[in-house]
């Protein structure tokens, strides 16, 4: 890259960083400006602006505040005190943020539950939340009924946004309350570094964990990334992601609400209706996760897919093979890809960089960040240490595990952890580069190039070894996803008797009958021999979380055993070189070693 281009790149990068840092400069962990103060400040500034749009309903910032004040009065009437928890089991609604905003006004902590949960998983989340009250969306009554027998203690469920027989009405109880703001004395003495809400991990490999979110973290999420997109009061954010999650409910909604813009609330993501809603409500932005973009890209052309007003999209997980095709097909000007976990202390943002990068930290700014990448042994699931007993940093373009130094005196770099102490300790790596230091394990495999751009490669545990080589599932999925007709590809490793490591297997969802010969030709051409999927499973749909992350646990357990899998399966026949039908007879021969892979 020439000198002039380099100077221009660095000038733009520094300008973007400076603008975002300025937006969060006044967020102070030791201060008393809380998330409720943050939103009240926006109400006072943008009171008559439209804040929320849902179908044919709209609320201004002032109406948001009125409702929040009534919720705060309701909480006080129930005898709830600062630090108490109320579980919120509500789908995306215009009232969602005003609901937790109201609880925050009187320092009650909302536990934002995944509205797709039911049964034991829902009961688990309610139990670890510590809530005595639950706001139950009437549309989720069956899910709650399946869970409540497993709920510990006496949790009172209130029917909300519709009536339910046998439940006291939250709507009626709130409607009779005063709309005046509660005194700030009700939350006096609380510092911004303290907890303001509970969010839950996705549960891709087990039951969800309750992550502590502080006022500082919530404010940084709501302010910072929207600034990178130059959000203003004219913007309208199309929100199809669940609002109980940080990406949608804090980052995406915050980009609009902290700048006087509006949030267009959708109850759920619909690929077929997406562009209709975007045009109908004049959306200028939307918040994505990568698989959402992949779904849209796999759809048939829509007459409005280039006639919208969306210029900026904000989110995470947009894989390189989707990125370019998406912005070109749908006429999107700007992408802000960011990286971070709700509970973690590592954050990155790509506002200027190359396709696929999740952020950048040039060498001259490393002192401002707490991140590093260390070597990771896929086979042993360990971080190797050198002769001195400390972890080993990776070199340029070398894949390793991303970690973030835990600094108790810096709110950006704290690790608040989970409600369960044992879960918190599992995420901490100690004595990494010196005795006594502590680092947050992201569980993500990354690489960093010579210019300081970071690239997500895979999840720890997803990457596996086969033929003495490391296989990154994301790279294999990217190749499979290029094949015509494939809408989703979930790649994982399965145990095969008599072999070291794990063989690659792909659960593929397709919209048409696949030409397996052509697919085999593609993987042979684009992937090294060790990374080519040994087994294929042709599924009707993929099991994903509500934020479109693939669940692999059940797939790995089922493996390639026809007795455990009803979907059609195929294996790479070493004799024919093609994907052949995997029958019980073939399965038995592979187990006995009569067919060598």
Q: Which CATH architecture has domain 462-592?
A: 2-Layer Sandwich (3.30)
Rg (CA), the chain: 25
247-252 own/partner pairs: CB under 8 Å, 24+ apart:
247/287, 247/289, 247/315, 247/316, 247/547, 248/287, 248/547, 249/96, 249/97, 249/112, 250/218, 250/221, 250/222, 251/221, 251/222, 251/225, 251/226, 251/287, 251/314, 251/338, 252/286, 252/287, 252/314, 252/315
For CA atoms 398, 402, 405, 411, give the dihedral sign. Answer: positive
- Widest pairwise Cα distance in the chain: 77
pTM: 0.82
For residue 546, what pLDDT is reported?
Answer: 53
Give strand pairing partners of 129.
none
Q: Does domain 366-408+422-449 have CATH number 2.30.38?
A: yes
**pLDDT for the residue 45:** 98
- CB-based contact 329:300 (threshold 8 Å): no
Location of structure tokens 């006004």: 105
Q: What is the pLDDT of residue 551?
A: 64
Whole-angstrom Cα distance, residue 415 to residue 405? 9
The angle, 0 to 180 degrees and rounded to 10, between the axes of the packed helices 61-77 and 35-46 is: 140
Residue 523 is predicted with a pLDDT of: 92
- Asked whether 463 and 446 are in contact (CB, 8 A), the reply is no
Contact 178, 69 (CB under 8 A): yes
State how far the Cα of 47 lies from the Cα of 64, in Å rounded to an integer: 9
Q: How far apart are CA 466 and CA 568, in angstroms?
A: 23
Instruction: Tell which phi-psi region holds residue 365, choosing left (phi > 0), alpha (psi between -120 and 50) or beta.
Output: alpha
Residue 24 confidence (pLDDT) = 85
Would you list the DSSP string of 431-448?
SSSSTT-EEEEEEEEEEE
| Per-residue pLDDT tens digits of the chain, which is 597 residues long | 578 888 887 888 888 888 888 888 888 889 999 999 999 999 999 999 999 999 999 999 999 999 999 999 999 999 999 999 999 999 999 999 999 999 999 999 999 999 988 888 899 999 999 999 999 999 999 999 999 999 998 999 999 999 999 999 999 999 999 999 999 999 999 999 999 999 987 655 567 888 899 999 999 999 988 888 899 999 999 999 999 999 999 999 999 999 999 999 999 899 899 999 999 999 999 999 887 898 898 888 999 999 999 999 999 989 888 899 999 999 999 999 999 877 788 989 998 778 999 999 998 989 889 999 999 988 778 899 999 999 999 999 999 999 999 998 887 788 887 877 887 888 899 999 999 999 999 989 999 999 999 999 888 877 888 887 788 888 898 889 889 888 889 899 998 988 878 899 999 998 788 999 999 999 998 888 889 999 999 988 766 555 555 667 788 889 999 999 999 999 999 999 999 999 999 999 999 889 988
All structural domains of the chain with their residue ranges: 3-343, 366-408+422-449, 462-592
The single residue listed with the structure tokens 């030791």 is 30
For residue 325, which of 348, 307, 299, 352 has the smallest C-alpha distance?
299
CB 267 within 8 A of CB 238: no
Domain 3-343 falls in which CATH fold?
Answer: Rossmann fold (3.40.50)
């Amino acid at each position: 890259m020439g000198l002039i281009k380099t100077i221009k790149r660095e000038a733009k990068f520094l300008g973007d960083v400076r603008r975002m840092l300025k937006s969060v400069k006044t967020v102070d962990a030791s201060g008393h400006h809380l998330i409720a103060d943050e939103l009240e400040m926006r109400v006072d500034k943008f009171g008559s602006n439209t804040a929320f749009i849902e179908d044919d309903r709209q609320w201004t910032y002032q109406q948001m505040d009125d409702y929040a004040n009534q919720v705060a009065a309701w909480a006080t009437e129930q005898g709830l005190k600062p630090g108490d928890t109320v579980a919120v089991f509500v789908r995306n609604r215009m009232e969602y943020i005003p609901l937790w905003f109201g609880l925050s006004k009187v320092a009650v902590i909302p536990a934002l539950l995944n509205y797709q949960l039911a049964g034991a998983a829902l009961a688990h989340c309610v139990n670890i939340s510590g809530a005595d009250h639950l706001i139950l969306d009437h549309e989720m009554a069956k899910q709650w009924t399946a869970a409540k027998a497993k709920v510990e203690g006496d949790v009172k469920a209130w029917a909300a946004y519709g009536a339910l027989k046998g439940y006291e009405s939250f709507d009626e109880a709130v409607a009779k309350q005063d709309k005046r703001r509660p005194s700030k004395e009700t939350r006096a003495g609380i510092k911004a570094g303290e907890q303001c809400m509970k969010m839950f991990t996705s549960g891709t490999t087990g039951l969800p964990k309750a992550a502590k979110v502080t006022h500082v973290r919530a404010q940084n999420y709501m302010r910072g990334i929207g600034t990178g997109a130059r959000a203003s009061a004219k913007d309208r954010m199309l929100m199809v992601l669940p609002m109980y999650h940080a990406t949608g409910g804090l980052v995406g909604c915050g980009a609009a609400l902290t700048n006087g813009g509006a949030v267009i609330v959708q109850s759920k993501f619909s690929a077929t209706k997406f562009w209709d809603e975007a045009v109908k409500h004049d959306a200028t932005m939307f918040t994505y996760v990568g698989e959402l973009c992949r779904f849209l890209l796999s759809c048939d052309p829509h007459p409005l897919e280039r006639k919208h007003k969306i210029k900026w999209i904000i989110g995470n997980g947009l894989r390189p093979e989707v990125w370019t095709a998406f912005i070109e097909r749908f006429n999107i000007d700007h992408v802000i890809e960011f990286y971070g976990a709700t509970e973690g202390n590592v954050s990155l943002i790509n506002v200027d960089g190359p396709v696929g990068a999740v952020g950048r930290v040039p060498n001259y700014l490393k002192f401002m960040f707490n991140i590093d990448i260390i070597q990771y042994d896929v086979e042993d699931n360990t971080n190797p240490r050198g002769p001195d007993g400390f972890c080993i940093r990776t070199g340029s373009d070398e894949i390793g595990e991303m970690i973030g130094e835990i600094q108790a005196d810096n709110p950006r770099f704290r690790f608040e952890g989970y409600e369960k102490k044992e879960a918190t300790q599992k995420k901490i790596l100690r004595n990494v580069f010196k005795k006594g230091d502590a680092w947050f394990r992201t569980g993500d495999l990354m690489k960093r190039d010579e210019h300081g751009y970071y690239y997500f490669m895979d999840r720890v545990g997803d990457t596996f070894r086969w033929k003495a080589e490391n296989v990154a599932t994301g790279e294999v999925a990217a190749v499979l996803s290029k094949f015509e007709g494939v809408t989703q590809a979930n790649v994982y490793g399965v145990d095969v008797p008599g072999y070291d490591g794990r063989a690659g297997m792909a659960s593929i969802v397709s919209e048409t009958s696949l030409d397996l010969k052509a697919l085999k030709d593609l993987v042979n051409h684009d992937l090294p021999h060790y990374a080519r999927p040994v087994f294929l499973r042709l599924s009707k749909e993929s099991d994903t979380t509500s934020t479109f992350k693939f669940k692999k646990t059940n797939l790995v357990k089922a493996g390639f055993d026809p007795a455990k899998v009803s979907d059609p399966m195929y294996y790479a026949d070493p004799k024919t070189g093609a994907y052949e039908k995997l029958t019980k007879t073939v399965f038995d021969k592979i187990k006995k070693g009569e067919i060598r892979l």
